[in-house]
Structure 1
Amino acid sequence: MTRTVHLDFLKPALLFALIALATLLRAAPAPAAGTETLTVAGGCFWCVESDFESVSGVIGAVSGYTGGKTSNPTYDQVTKGGTGHYEAVQITFDPARVSRETLLNMFFRSVDPTDVGGQFCDRGSSYRTAIFVSNAGEKAIAEKAKSNAQNALGQRIVTPILQQGAFYPAEAYHQDYYKGTKLVLTRFGPKRQASAYKAYRKACGRDARVKQLWGSDAPFAGS
């Protein structure tokens, strides 16, 4: 009898422990000592992640969702609309090797910051551009980068600078999609993820539009 009662007591405790573990695994990891994070939204998060993981001084980038009101949103929820979230990327970098200002200057020149309705072929609120900041210092750097980009482009930039809230990492299959080896079915036929990503990026017109806007100042177009 004692053993049965003990096991019944453990069942709910084990359930709560598993729920807590799942929540921790979905939460964004804390940055390592000596590093900083920058969170930006630039349309398809596969592309932003791919771009910035190629930058010297960037330690890693995580695709996810931020800026909305729904806790632990799914990809389907975000893309259908109503959650308020952006597809975003949280970039972890070493400020001794690359500055926040440099990354922001690169960000503006890797997107179409004049587009209020999405990015390239991806339309809708979840694909809009944005920069997320945590304090007054980060906001000042972002505002300076935005002003410099607007002066350089000669067009009005609509990318907002927003207060950073909770960042939810996207589902595992979205992470490092651009270099994945899993076979997926696309409108171009069966392809490995890396090939599917390249086909999508070209068909979406991302690099063509960025080159049209920024010319030789575009840091990632054609990469």
Structure 2
Amino acid sequence: MEEKHQVATFAGGCFWCMVKPFDEQPGIISVLSGYTGGTVENPTYQQVCTDTTGHYEAVQITYNPDIFPYEKLVELFWQQIDPTDAGGQFYDRGQSYQTAIFYHNETQKRIAEESKQRLRESGRFSKPIVTPILPAQTFYPAEEYHQHYYKKNRAHYQSYHVGSGRAGFIERNWGDEHAK
């Protein structure tokens, strides 16, 4: 049922680390690494890394909302990032590694804002939640070697996930919750 599919877009730092958590969920059709939010058309990885394009590294998720609703996608997104870090994520610094939720319609915007407010009120983080909620823009797929990096380069992906500080942060702040 193709008409049941919807799209969600999240920037959570290095896109390598943002694919696997979503890719392994039921109802997820595809997870594509790419670039969004900037002014350069069809940017390359090298261009985006200069922090001059305005683009974020991001993932675009095609999903079946009857199986995995947007609310659950947003919850899972929060559990992959440090929402209090405005300068990037973990080892990766700069604008292209900042976090954002890019909404595709008013319902997604409302759900994301409500979720962000619940996270603020939860007291889980002592610093302010700085992840912005922005209107979706054109999404440009990243180069093929970035797609599903965690499958193509398992050892390097795992060492990066741990070495960047992301794995430890998730474990400290979410424990077993992030596996749900």
What TM-score, normalized by structure 2, do the two folds share? 0.94
Matches within 5 A, 1:172-211: 172-180=144-152, 193-211=153-171
Decide whether the 8 Å contact of 1:38 with 1:132 is kept in 2: yes
**Structure-2 separation of matches of 1:177 and 1:106:** 19
The answer to whether structure 1 residue 137 and structure 2 residue 102 are counterparts is no
State the 1:154 CA deviation. Answer: 4.3
**Structure-1 separation of matches of 2:166 and 2:104:** 29
The answer to whether structure 1 residue 118 and structure 2 residue 88 are counterparts is yes
Larger gyration radius, structure 1 or structure 2: 1
**Structure-2 separation of matches of 1:124 and 1:65:** 14
Decide whether the 8 Å contact of 1:62 with 1:89 is kept in 2: yes
Query: Which stretches in structure 2 are left out of the alignment for 5+ residues?
Result: none
**Structure-1 separation of matches of 2:179 and 2:93:** 23
Decide whether the 8 Å contact of 1:105 with 1:149 is kept in 2: no
The answer to whether structure 1 residue 168 and structure 2 residue 140 are counterparts is yes
Q: CA RMSD in A?
A: 1.5
State the 1:118 CA deviation. Answer: 0.5
Partner residue, 1:157: 129
Identity rate, percent: 47
Greater relative contact order (Cα < 8 A, sep 6+): 2
The answer to whether structure 1 residue 71 and structure 2 residue 41 are counterparts is yes
**Structure-2 separation of matches of 1:154 and 1:113:** 9
Deviations 1:171-213 (A, max 9, x none): 0110011111xxxxxxxxxxxx111111111111111012222
Secondary structure, counterpart of 2:179 in structure 1: coil
Greater CA drift, 124-133 or 147-156:
147-156
State the 1:98 CA deviation. Answer: 0.9
Greater CA drift, 62-71 or 137-146:
137-146
The runs of at least 4 consecutive aligned structure 1 residues that moved more than 4 Å come to none
Decide whether the 8 Å contact of 2:8 with 2:104 is kept in 1: no
Q: Tell me the matched-pair count.
A: 178
Query: Which stretches in structure 1 are left out of the alignment for 5+ residues?
Result: 1-31, 181-192
Partner residue, 1:102: 72
State the 1:33 CA deviation. Answer: 2.2
